[in-house]
Amino acid sequence: MKLIKYFFSIFIIITTSCSKNENSDDDVDGPDEEIFYRGMDLSFQSELENYNVDYKDADGNSVELLDFVKSKGTNLVRLKLWHTPQDGQNGIDDVKAYAQRIKAKDMEFLLNFHYSDFWADPGKQTPPVAWQNLSLLDLKAAVYNYTKSVVQQLKAQNTLPNIIQIGNETDSGFLWDYGKVWNEFNDNWVNYAGLVSEAVRAIRELDTENKIKIMLHHSNVEHSIYFFNELEAYNLDFDIIGLSYYPQFQTKDLDLITSKLNTLAETFDKEILMVEVAYPFTLQWNDNLSNYVGSLNQIIPEFAPTPQGQKSYMEWLITTIKNIPNKKGIGFCYWAPDWVAFNGNENTSTNGTSWENQCVFDFNLKALPVLDSFNYN
């Protein structure tokens, strides 16, 4: 009997081992593998859907945007959040509604806190009107309570973000002048770090299963090392370095971009997400607004402003991110790929958009080849 049990045990061990070997390829791509993000910022959808924009596939067939971009490889959607929006867009109700749609498609969700009532970027970081006369101590409490309230609301509807971004392009700090770290406030890092810490504390207290990654966002790859060096002394609790790269505003030297990304990875033990990227497929326009990119001196010489050039640029970018040392490059997020020309409100545009030549749909709203790069390996 003991001999039978012995051989039976050996049989179980062998068959279990074989089963694991047979499924080894599945394990590599299994749920425990770190995801490579192929994202899109679709913050304009809450408004654009009011205009019934007719997005199409490459053959001209109408598509539902979220289903379509998921089928092309998109696995992350970024949404911006304004505190009390000046134009009624991108408030908490908009974010909650679209977050439900993202999660229903089994896609991941990146929440972008601007901590402002309108656009925040390196040149303007205006606190919400409701916070503008607070003491620094009271502002910290407001950041904590507001952050916690937003995350609680998302948690209650089972749409917790996978990534939360604390501030938008905070090269110069945020919540000026309280958390400003620019010009005459260059010695104000302790206040910036203190405000960020309150947002982090609110998130960590609610994220009991430690599922949320926290990101800090800088607008310029070339100059970001200084920013994160300054923060080292404060031991901030965050997981991801978020970066923007728009060639029209930054260096066009591809080797320099690669070098800076590699230095970031080797200097700081953080993941790197290229959280805002885009590239033009033409220098023409499709409305009566001037575009951000409209001349050859704004583009990278290696990539023409054509549909194929736009696709080749993204393939270069994906390869560059994947080659960041120590596997720290975790993906990209294409900014406003859907912001095509339309009759919007005056806060968005007069008769369209300043971005339509950098979208992933052409002027006939047909999908461009760049979408195929979302599955580029």
169 counts as catalytic = yes
Residues paired with 213 in a beta bridge: 163
Q: Which residue has the tokens 């549909």?
A: 307
In degrees to the nearest 10, what's the CA dihedral of 131, 133, 136, 137?
-80
| Collapsed DSSP state (helix, strand, coil) of residue 154 | helix
Look up residue 337 and give its DSSP letter. Answer: T
User: For the chain, where are the alpha helices, taking DSSP H only?
Assistant: 2-22, 24-28, 45-48, 65-71, 92-104, 136-156, 189-206, 224-231, 254-267, 307-322
**Of 47, 108, 198, 276, which one is the catalytic site residue?**
276
**Of 169, 198, 271, 356, which one is the catalytic site residue?**
169
276 counts as catalytic = yes
Residue (of 195, 145, 187) closest to 167 by Cα position: 195
Amino acid letter for position 198: E
Are 83 and 130 a contacting pair, CB within 8 Å?
Answer: yes
Amino acid letter for position 194: G
Are 266 and 332 a contacting pair, CB within 8 Å?
Answer: no
| Collapsed DSSP state (helix, strand, coil) of residue 310 | helix
Dihedral sign for Cα 111, 114, 119, 122, please: negative
Amino acid letter for position 197: S
Q: Which residue has the tokens 């728009």?
A: 246
Instruction: Name the residues annotated as catalytic.
Output: 169, 276
